Structure 1
């Protein structure tokens, strides 16, 4: 055998592990582990996808001009400052590839999205993890961790899997405290769900900045997770760098068509957000009454903490729920071993989870 090996550092990357989607021996399990929208995509997006699939032999628009235009119209942006990707995951990797190298550092929070660490290591950089306060991004902790080697700061706002967020004033304070050669990456995957008055996804901050990027996705509220479409709004110099390193056709034609239709169907988005708001309120009322702590949620999921008393652990709850055909997301890999994350589902799905958790916490059923 030859001596071909990956470059130093690749073997240290822990591969991303998605949430479970099946239960052995059970058909039609209820999957609430991946923060997928229960209302599905806009019917207009389905129609656009099917029509575009009639010409699958044709390469897509490599500059995705129509998609950038649709995003720009929806949010009042300059389309020239938009870059699209194969999900926002690809954009994190492209940003790290373009702006980091061996010995550089990127900061993320202790319960931050796992792909930040992976993208950093894949680019040859060193991930620097900082503590959170009350399971929430701590601006002071991030600023204290900045060194001469820092090149990027990743924060998800709202964060996954905690579901917490920081107000836009805190985001601005973070950005103002960073050196001009450090890029702030604001991951707004769940931005559409947040209805708090002190929240902004970061569009205005990015518009007036040379070292801040906001990323968004069509996987969550728009329901296009299978199609892998994300986008970034960034300064011109960042856009130029990303367009130099990305693949020439990194977003498929049917995916572009579906995304254009989805972002134009604001009524469907509004319905999804209203359904989510209703159930966040109900879950945060009912679950604590069962003895399950719930972190204040603003996205499309709730993070539940189990006390561990009398055997009521997250692991035991996960096993019990699976016996009922229900899949939630354990979060031990995010240093939250006493928690499970539940995606907001349809009415009947949420009622089913509540009933199962009631039986588990009360020690009834099997």
Structure 2
């Protein structure tokens, strides 16, 4: 059939490179997945129990505004639940923000090593994505501000940054915001906030409360509920109103709402996740950072390891894969061909990764 006799997508859609997730291994193979930044301790037992509790009521629609989950988030984080919107993963909310605030001829800015979903969201609206040079693999506030044009409508800021693990302090985020026009929406994507240990970091809640053009987006995926697909956003009342007008009417299923609420209130489990991650993140850095490999300082639940060149990175990836340890290649998706992103996993997994990579160093020297 001729191309002109079938439905065609909007201009630019077929120019978008689809998102490529981290490898998961072959079906039936015994592997340790360290490629998607999932929880090394599984999910909160309370969240699992809450998820199971609704199994006999799957025929009923969930409450449409995710009130159960918004109430729990409000209690634990000290937020007015009316300022919260929940979504089917944080990606759902990021797409909605792009759909509402970007259009043909607009621009969105991002750090050159920012989350690879931002260009997809932006281009799908007909807008252009502008990748701004980073400094030492971190977002550069001065460079971002210098890249602003009259067409700029959104600044995407993942903080900490995926895949580098770098972050901007609260002071730097505020400096970025202060330099933006009031009609530019600053989207602070705090997907890895649960794992940050830096004293000068802020998730962005205070700035959202003070400003009229800032939203903060979070996810439950990194704290044990990736399969449930739960995200949440805090923003000014006028942004919340806009997003609620177009989001799916039942966009968060009931098991996910209950599991998310239980996980939110299980602050002891979240603290255990943070402590485990901090211990083994610091340990892995101390084991790997050297002349052959350089580990970029991270505030997330992963580290980015840089090798002398792309060939050495590929060798490290394949060697780990052969030993049942799957990490994330970041050449194609993020433009760092000589790097690998390694999620923080169990004690056994971290010792295994360190041993294999250190053995490679000996072979190379």
Same fold (TM over 0.5): yes
**Any conservation in 2 of the 1:99–1:151 contact (CA below 8 Å)?**
yes
Does 1:9 pair with 2:12? Answer: yes
Q: What residue in structure 2 maps to residue 342 of structure 1?
A: 342
Provide the alpha-carbon RMSD of the alignment. Answer: 1.3
Choose from 130, 149, 152 the match for 1:150.
152
Q: Secondary structure at the match of 2:182?
A: coil
State how many pairs are aligned: 360
Is the CA contact (8 Å cut-off) linking 1:81 and 1:239 kept in structure 2?
yes
What's the CA shift string for 1:77-116, capped at 9, x where partnerless? Answer: 1111100011111111000101111111111111000111
- Structure 1 contact 288–294 (Cα < 8 Å) conserved: yes
Deviation per CA, 1:153-204: give whole Å up to 9, x if none: 0010000000000100010011011101000000000011111111001000
**Residue 178 (structure 2) aligned to one of 163, 168, 176:** 176
| Alpha-carbon distance in 2 for matches of 1:261, 1:123 | 35
Alignment match, 1:327: 326
C-alpha separation in 2, matches of 1:242 and 1:9: 24
Which whole-Å CA distance do the structure 2 matches of 1:289 and 1:53 have between them? Answer: 51
| Deviation (angstroms), 1:289 | 4.4
Local SS of the residue matching 2:199: coil
Equivalent in the alignment of 2:21:
18
- What is the aligned partner in structure 1 of residue 53 from structure 2? 51
Equivalent residues in 2 for 1:131-280, closer than 5 Å:
131-221=133-223, 223-280=224-281
Q: Output the CA distance in 1 between the equivalents of 2:337 and 2:235.
A: 36
* TM-score normalised by structure 1 residue count: 0.96
Closer, same or farther: CA 312–17 of 1 in aligned 2, 3 Å: closer
When the two structures are superposed, what TM-score results if normalisation uses the length of structure 2?
0.96
Find the aligned partners of 1:123 and 1:313 in 2 and give their Cα distance. Answer: 38
For 1:92 and 1:231, the matched residues in 2 are separated by: 10
- Give me the whole-angstrom Cα distance separating, in 2, the residues matched to 1:92 and 1:69: 21
Task: Measure the CA separation in 1 of the matches of 2:15 and 2:236.
Answer: 32
2:66 paired residue number: 64
Distance 1:217 1:356 in 2: 32
- Displacement of 1:292 in angstroms is 1.3
CA distance in 2, matches of 1:245, 1:100: 14
**Shift, 1:298, TM fit:** 0.9
Instruction: Tell me how far apart the structure 1 counterparts of residues 26 and 55 of structure 2 sit (CA, whole Å).
Output: 32
Give 1:284 shift. 1.2
Query: Do the aligned residues in 1 keep the contact of 2:311 with 2:338 (CA within 8 Å)?
Result: no
SS of 1:106's equivalent in the other structure is strand
TM superposition shift of 1:23 = 4.3
Deviating beyond 2 angstroms after TM superposition, the runs of 4 or more aligned structure 1 residues are none
Q: Within 2, Cα distance between the matches of 1:336 and 1:60?
A: 42
